[in-house]
Structure 1
């Protein structure tokens, strides 16, 4: 049987065992979230024989350094594992503000210890002690002097539970910065741009929207925010303020009760439209299907899903 080695410890595991499960079952605390290779919370450094189900999830440079996503690896032979240490491998950040935009959406603004180069639409793994979870950036690097995140705290979770207690001056650690599917390309400047988010899926789109406006996007921009009820449209006021000063920007606030009827009435004005979607997988799938039926070419849709906690 293969042996797993972590520090001074080693123990046998069955061939083909999931690496994340094998580590956690032995008491090695490796955080995880999506278990789909998307969130990168379970990053570990490996030496040995593992079969990686998603080799393209990490960059070539990361793989060369031995980093792997534990949830995507099967143990095929002896493996030495070094877990991600946020104190050594991460970057320090200080809480500037932690305020509630609604009863369930917490806005975190962080000041990193050193400058962080990122683009609108990317996300970071945040560490509170030994608890980690990825969150999309809602801030804009050229404009904001902080990193902003919108945390959905409706449901209990280790990170959201820890986040509720955060206050100004508290410390967090920043993990890996990931390039998400969402972005703004200056070549899109003249084309219709649709930004559709559900829940806190509007957070990265808020950054993308401001980046498009910063780059003087000329085509019409349509923003749709789907929320479970009217009280959950937590960016309604700032979106309305932007729409008031940009005539080519329209904002629509949908609720779950209106979704079926609103989707049925969704029409494309131009086949040159580009659509960026973000949120719960069920909502992203519903919007995607409707847009494809309306004639949107598949290569003109970019989507990033917020996977449920695994």
Structure 2
């Protein structure tokens, strides 16, 4: 096997040469800056093979688990197949298994496919046409569910919303690409307090992370905050209340604006005093996630202990 392959293209690499130098010599347009492993501009991902440990210095545990590495300081000694960090790979086909309402404007979409590896909390790119693609986080667990589950908000004038509402039916074929994202449990200390904060369909990845943490035997306290504008906007409440009742270390805290509870303010008030010792997962719209990241960091949380999945609406 070729020592270095970029996507499906063999790249010659000399002994002692870095991956970045080999890519540039081969005419690959690879971004770079410092060439010393500090700026992370040249970040790539190994889709096959294991990058040398020294080429992953400064990366998060989640990034390392996904095969990310720094080509500028990587001198491989075993075969690597690599791709740009945002390359979701080829589109795959899936079959719609179920579309069911969770609230007045949120549906659960479950699709089936074969031989697809992912981690709970990552996201997919759902493809409904060449010019209609949207990202949705996964609420399912790869070892517990025979399907991929997404929670999709149906916006009144949204093109994907209209497609899901008016076109998709059980048994239909569709395509997706991925997975992407580092918002998953890997790298969390099992005895560390784990805090999950989200609003709306930001619950989807948090539900996946929560289930994964419990499956992996997380021993520290786990608190899940879920916010919505109105009480009717909450969902999976029965499942989450059952988990909290069955597991002594799990607490479920719903918060709705119509009852005077803002999920960000509620979570920050409770979590700020213990922020320095906790791992955080934040999911929801940009404003919520950015506010929480800033305020938790100012309260003593390490940036490496904060993972986030910010939802940006399509134009």
Q: So what's the TM-score if we normalise by structure 1?
A: 0.70
Q: Deviations over 1:183-236 (max 9, x none)?
A: 113651011000111111110110010000011110000100111211111121
CA RMSD of the aligned region, Å? 3.1
Aligned to 1:59: 45
Of the structure 1 ranges 94-103 and 157-166, higher mean CA displacement relative to structure 2 is found in: 157-166
Aligned to 1:119: 119
Q: Give SS of 1:258's match.
A: coil
Q: Deviations over 1:33-72 (max 9, x none)?
A: xxxxxxxxxxxxxxx99797996576367999997979xx
Aligned to 2:178: 176
Aligned to 1:13: none
User: How far 1:258 sits from its partner (Å)?
Assistant: 2.1
Counterpart CA distance in 2 for 1:191 and 1:156 is 43
Q: Pick closer, same or farther for the CA change 1:174–1:271 going to 2, 3 Å.
A: same
Aligned to 2:195: 194
Q: Give SS of 1:269's match.
A: helix
Kept after mapping to 1: 8 A contact 2:268/2:296:
no
Counterpart CA distance in 2 for 1:149 and 1:104 is 14
Structure 2 unmatched runs, 5+ = 1-26, 33-39, 49-70, 72-80
Aligned to 2:20: none
Give the counterpart of 1:167 among 166, 169, 189. Answer: 169
Aligned to 2:213: 212
User: How far 1:121 sits from its partner (Å)?
Assistant: 1.5
Q: Pick closer, same or farther for the CA change 1:55–1:91 going to 2, 3 Å.
A: farther
Q: Pick closer, same or farther for the CA change 1:261–1:198 going to 2, 3 Å.
A: closer
Aligned to 2:129: 129
Q: Deviations over 1:58-100 (max 9, x none)?
A: 6367999997979xxxxxxxxxxxxx9x9xx421111110011
Counterpart CA distance in 2 for 1:148 and 1:183 is 15
Give the counterpart of 1:262 among 245, 263, 266. Answer: 266
Aligned to 2:302: 297
Structure 1 unmatched runs, 5+ = 1-47, 71-83
User: How far 1:133 sits from its partner (Å)?
Assistant: 1.1
Q: So what's the TM-score if we normalise by structure 2?
A: 0.69
Q: Pick closer, same or farther for the CA change 1:132–1:245 going to 2, 3 Å.
A: same
Kept after mapping to 1: 8 A contact 2:275/2:299:
no
Say whether residues 1:221 and 2:226 are aligned partners: no
Counterpart CA distance in 1 for 2:172 and 2:28 is 40
Tell me the matched-pair count.
246
